[in-house]
Amino acid sequence: MKSRSETLRDAIEEMIAVGKLAPGQHLDETELANAFGVSRTPIRETLIQLSSMGLVVIRPRRGAVVAELGPQQLVEMFEVMSELEAVCARLAARRMTKAEQEALLAAHGACKRAVDDPDEYYTLNETFHQAIYAGSHNHFLIEQARSLYRRLRPYRRLQLRVRDRVSNSYAEHDAVVQAIVKGDGELAAQLMREHVMIQGQRFADLMASLPQLTAAAA
């Protein structure tokens, strides 16, 4: 069972991920305390935890705000994310058990059924990637990949709202899955790197979509 602190952290993290709390938005402790029916103390503790995760910035005497990532930071973080996930895919191709492969195929199938619903696909997409992380059987790598994934959740979600991105994402998943099941680690890594990395038109599309994060929370 989750503690109250864990429940609060997960709830506020999810609000950031789905855009209910936008990058740069001030986080009023009293408002959050009232919304969750708790005192300000657990809210303050939760914001400190989220700050350590990079999702919140606490400014002396000015309170906390949702962390903002500039274009350069986004490029750098997606660059690292693509490499972490490439390693996960390479190791998963070598180490996944039959049961883990079946779980990956099930997650992939669920994504296929959600290609017409970007929000549903986003949730299932996370399950898909987590299955590959788990298949790497490298706990330190899994921890690092999950941590960075959390920081990039709002932006990965936003990417899926770009026209045709969901269908393209699913096609890319399919190629990754085939490489993993066949045990081709190098191909799986290459395909996963290309799937996650943002550059060229994909970067331009993401930059053009950023104002939606603020609009969604307004």
> Do 152 and 171 lie in a common domain?
yes
- Give the DSSP per-residue string, 55-96: SEEEETTTEEEE----HHHHHHHHHHHHHHHHHHHHHHHHH-
Reported as a single tens digit per residue, the pLDDT across 118-143 is: 889 999 999 999 999 999 999 999 99
Reported as a single tens digit per residue, the pLDDT across 169-197 is: 999 999 999 999 999 999 999 999 999 98
> Do 147 and 166 lie in a common domain?
yes
| Boundaries of domain holding 199 | 71-217
pLDDT of 105 > 90? The answer is: yes
CATH of the domain at 178: 1.20.120.530
Whole-number mean pLDDT of the chain? 88
Question: pLDDT band at 215, cuts 50/70/90?
Answer: very low
CATH of the domain at 48: 1.10.10.10
> Do 171 and 81 lie in a common domain?
yes
- Tokens 């059924």 locate to 113
Instruction: Pick 199 or 39 by higher pLDDT.
Output: 39
pLDDT of 218 > 50? The answer is: no
Q: Are the C-beta atoms of 155 and 113 separated by less than 8 Å?
A: no
